[in-house]
Structures are given as C-alpha cells and as structure tokens.
C-alpha cells in the first residue's frame, strides 16, 4: 500500500484546511468541508459503514467486527485542519526518494533550505522517502498524516478479512489547531471505550501526558492625538504593549524551554497608537504551575492597570488539560499500543507532549485517548516534513492494535 498511501497523503495536503482563531462557529473556516466531503466519499468507496458528516464538519464511521468474540470497541481519531500559525494556501509538496542525508533546497528562489545542521533529526530518515513543502507553506502532516493512516488502515483491514478484529470507530475532527476540535465531539454517539489520536511525531511514540493549556486575549486602549500636540495627552497603546511583553519572564518562552518546562507564548501582536491586541497561549504540564502562570498573567494585568489607568483588559480561557489524570487509571490502553509498536520492530517512546491533541480534551469527556505517532516533524512551519515510511509504520500500528485487541482475553 506504500504508493497508495503516498498518493492519498499528497492529495490530502493539497487541500487548504487552515483553521482560524477567534471564530465562534465550528468549523472556524468553511474550507475544511472541502477535504471532509472528499474523505466521506472515500470512506464509503472503501466499504466503511455508518459513514456520516454533521453540520460542524465531524466525520464518524464504523468498521464492523468480523469476529464473534466480545471485544471492547476502540476508536482512532485525527484532525483535518492545519495550523493558523503559517499559511497552508497553495501547498505544493515535494517528494525526495532515497533521501541521501544532505540539506534539502525547498525553494531556490527564496533561498529556503531544510538544513541538517538546524534539524539533525532529518538524518534518521536517510534512505527513506522524504516529503517536504516547497518552503512557501506548511505541509499539513499535522494531522493529515494521521487522517491518511486511519483511512489506509481501515482499507487494509477491509481488504484482508483474514485479520480478525472487533468493532472499530473512527472520527475526523475540525478546529483542533485552535483548541476546539473536541468541543462538539459526541462521545456517546462515538461509542468506543477508549481511542487513540494519531497526532504524534517520530515513529514509536505513544504519549499520554500533555500540557495544560489556556488562551489569553489582552486588549490595550490607547489615546490617539495629533503628534504635534501630543504632549501629556497621547497614550500610545503599543508602548504599553511592549512594556507588557517584556514584563513576562523572558526565558519562559517556547524557544527557551523543553521537556516538562512550561511557557508563555506571544502568538500575535497587532496594534496602532489607539489600540493594541496581544494574544498569548499559556502552557504547563503541572496543574499547580499552570494555575500559577494564569495568576501571574492576571497579576501583571492588574498591576499595569494601576499604572495605566485601567486601559488593559484580559480574557483568559482554558483550552485543555493534561490527559495523564484520566489515562493513568486505565494504563492497559497504553500497554496495548506499546505492544503493537514493539511487535513491528520499533522502540516504544514515551515523552510528554509539548502541546495538546483532541485526545486530551476527549479524555476529560469520558473517552480516554492517548496519542500515537503520525510521523511528521517541524509542525506549523515551512520546514515541516514527514517520511513516507513513518506514515506506513503508523498505518501498520493501527492494524496491529486491532489484531492485539482480538487476540486478548477480555473475559
């Protein structure tokens, strides 16, 4: 299925499904329906049952059991949208067969190069088929690799009825990248005891810890006056914004942290003299430290309002929480994934996710949902890439999990 998987993935990433922050409706962008409707047709064509898409762009489908054994219903989940952090319009993927371990010139005109010195993780895929962007967009392996893997695994199981498995449910969600992918996910309708998101990174990953996450909107009101007569009258909102940005810990940012270390991340800064808007995401694995970070943000706003006559407003919203709290009581679901990964000759890797997945929200909605590798690296950027062999391995992992489920004694 290698060539078929490549064709499917390339076809998916060429469809722009970028989501958008600050939009109340779901999906946040109507263009997500373009790919979603294509996937619905594809699921029907390969023989999936109960294929449906709702008005909010959630796709659900069923692979019926082909065994008489009583087996827990499991699910696989991936998201169709791509990140608002970098453009996805006009994605033109490049395929590099038998990658030789050298730097890859993504865009000669723009001088955009994927360098092994900057991204040494490239070297582990030497000899494989690399898929990159042309340097002008993100790739969308996050998470169209996951969508590809789930569809491909379901097709493989349908075409190989000799592989016995229980009932499997799948779901593809919108708006995961803006923290709303699970908002309208109907857990009861999905009907699985647990699920796996296919939204991780390098082959072998199985993750069940992620950030606690919040989104902060800071609006700063200035006062516009003609600069020629501005003394003691003008209040420049951008100056206040700069003061605010520099008042947060400068070493507690994504580019200065790793592992379990949390951060404040300024994701946008728009303004003029009269008004400025700062948008932050706040992240930490530890519940207490997460609460402390939010308190720190609120205190800074309060202190600066005293200094600047209440010109700053803050709206802070929790996005998702660390799924470890819900997964640790049912660790057998992680062990099944580890067994599948080991059976395929890979080393199971367990690291904290420096981000979140739909699974983190779903776990708190009653559907424990650890995260399995999808294969991509350098997400949300023009330097995003994935090895075809990683997508194939993730597809095989889904199949292997399905086999293990049927072979276990659930009495």
Q: What is the pLDDT of residue 99?
A: 98
pLDDT tens-digit profile of 113-137?
999 999 999 999 999 999 999 999 9
Rg (CA), the chain: 23
pLDDT tens-digit profile of 299-347?
999 999 999 999 999 999 998 899 999 999 999 999 999 999 999 999 9
Give every CB contact of residue 132 below 8 A, 6+ residues apart in sequence. 93, 94, 96, 104, 106, 114, 139, 383, 384, 385
pLDDT tens-digit profile of 214-224?
999 999 999 99
Q: Say if residue 63's pLDDT is above 90.
A: yes
| 176 has catalytic annotation | yes
Q: Say if residue 357's pLDDT is above 90.
A: no
Give the right CATH number for 2-210+322-407 from 3.40.190.10, 3.40.50.300, 3.40.630.10, 3.30.70.100. 3.40.630.10
Q: What is the pLDDT of residue 355?
A: 84
Q: How confident is the model at residue 1 (pLDDT cuts 50, 70, 90)?
A: confident
pLDDT tens-digit profile of 264-293?
999 999 999 999 999 999 999 999 999 999
Given the residues 176, 177, 284, 400, the one annotated as active site: 176
If you average pLDDT over every residue of the chain, what do you get?
96
Tokens of 99: 């990658």
The span from the CA of 266 to the CA of 339, in Å, is 39
Lowest-pLDDT range of 7-16, 44-53, 330-339, 345-354: 345-354
Cβ neighbours, 10 Å, residue 306: 8
CATH entry 3.30.70.360 includes domain 212-320: yes
Domain(s) of CATH 3.40.630.10: residues in the chain: 2-210+322-407
Given the residues 16, 81, 134, 175, the one annotated as active site: 81
Q: What is the pLDDT of residue 21?
A: 87
Q: Is 140 in contact with 17 (CB distance < 8 Å)? A: yes
Q: What pTM was computed for the model?
A: 0.87
Q: Say if residue 44's pLDDT is above 90.
A: yes
Burial 172-186 (b: 16+ CB within 10 A, else e): bbbbbbbbbbbbbbe
Q: What is the pLDDT of residue 351?
A: 86
Q: How confident is the model at residue 71 (pLDDT cuts 50, 70, 90)?
A: very high
Query: Which of 28 and 180 is assigned the larger pLDDT?
Result: 28
| 81 has catalytic annotation | yes
pLDDT tens-digit profile of 146-157?
999 999 999 999
- Altogether, the residues listed in the chain come to a count of 411
Q: What is the pLDDT of residue 320?
A: 87
The span from the CA of 129 to the CA of 101, in Å, is 11
Domain(s) of CATH 3.30.70.360: residues in the chain: 212-320
Question: What is the distance, to the nearest Å, from the Cα of residue 307 to the centroid of all Cα atoms in its chain?
Answer: 39
């Amino acid at each position: 299925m290698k060539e078929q998987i490549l064709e499917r993935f390339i076809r998916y990433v060429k469809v722009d499904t970028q989501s958008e922050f600050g939009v109340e409706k779901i999906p946040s962008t109507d263009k997500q329906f373009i790919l979603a409707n294509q996937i619905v047709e594809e699921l029907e064509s390969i023989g999936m049952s109960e294929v449906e898409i709702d008005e909010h762009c959630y796709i659900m489908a069923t692979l019926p059991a082909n065994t008489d054994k009583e087996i827990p219903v499991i699910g696989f989940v991936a998201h169709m949208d791509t990140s608002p952090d970098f453009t996805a319009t006009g994605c033109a993927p490049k395929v590099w067969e038998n990658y030789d371990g050298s730097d890859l010139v993504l865009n000669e005109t723009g001088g955009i190069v994927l360098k092994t010195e900057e991204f040494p993780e490239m070297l582990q895929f030497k000899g494989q088929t690399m898929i990159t962007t042309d340097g002008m967009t993100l790739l969308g392996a996050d998470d169209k690799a996951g969508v590809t893997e789930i569809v491909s695994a379901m097709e493989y199981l349908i075409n190989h009825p000799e592989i016995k498995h229980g009932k499997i449910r799948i779901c593809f969600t919108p708006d995961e990248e803006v923290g709303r992918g699970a908002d309208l996910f109907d857990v009861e309708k999905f009907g699985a005891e647990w699920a796996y998101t296919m939204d991780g990174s390098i082959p072998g990953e199985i993750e069940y810890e992620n950030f606690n996450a919040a989104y902060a909107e800071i609006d700063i009101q200035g006062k516009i006056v003609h600069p020629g007569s501005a003394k003691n009258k003008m209040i420049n909102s951008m100056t206040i914004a700069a003061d605010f940005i520099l008042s947060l810990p400068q070493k507690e940012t994504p580019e200065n942290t790793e592992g379990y270390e949390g951060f404040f991340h300024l994701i946008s800064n728009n303004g003029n003299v009269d008004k400025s808007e700062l948008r932050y995401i706040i992240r930490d694995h530890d519940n207490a430290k997460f609460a402390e970070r939010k308190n720190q943000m609120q205190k800074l706003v309060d202190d600066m309002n005293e200094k600047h006559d209440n010109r700053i407003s803050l709206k802070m919203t929790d996005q998702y929480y660390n799924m470890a709290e819900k997964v640790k009581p049912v660790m057998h679901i992680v062990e099944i994934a580890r067994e599948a990964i080991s059976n395929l000759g890979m080393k199971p890797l367990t690291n904290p996710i420096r981000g979140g997945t739909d699974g983190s929200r779903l776990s708190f909605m009653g559907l424990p949902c650890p995260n399995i590798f999808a294969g991509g690296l350098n997400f949300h950027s023009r330097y995003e890439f994935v090895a075809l062999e990683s997508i194939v391995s993730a597809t095989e992992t889904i199949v292997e999990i399905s086999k293990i489920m049927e072979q276990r004694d659930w009495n």
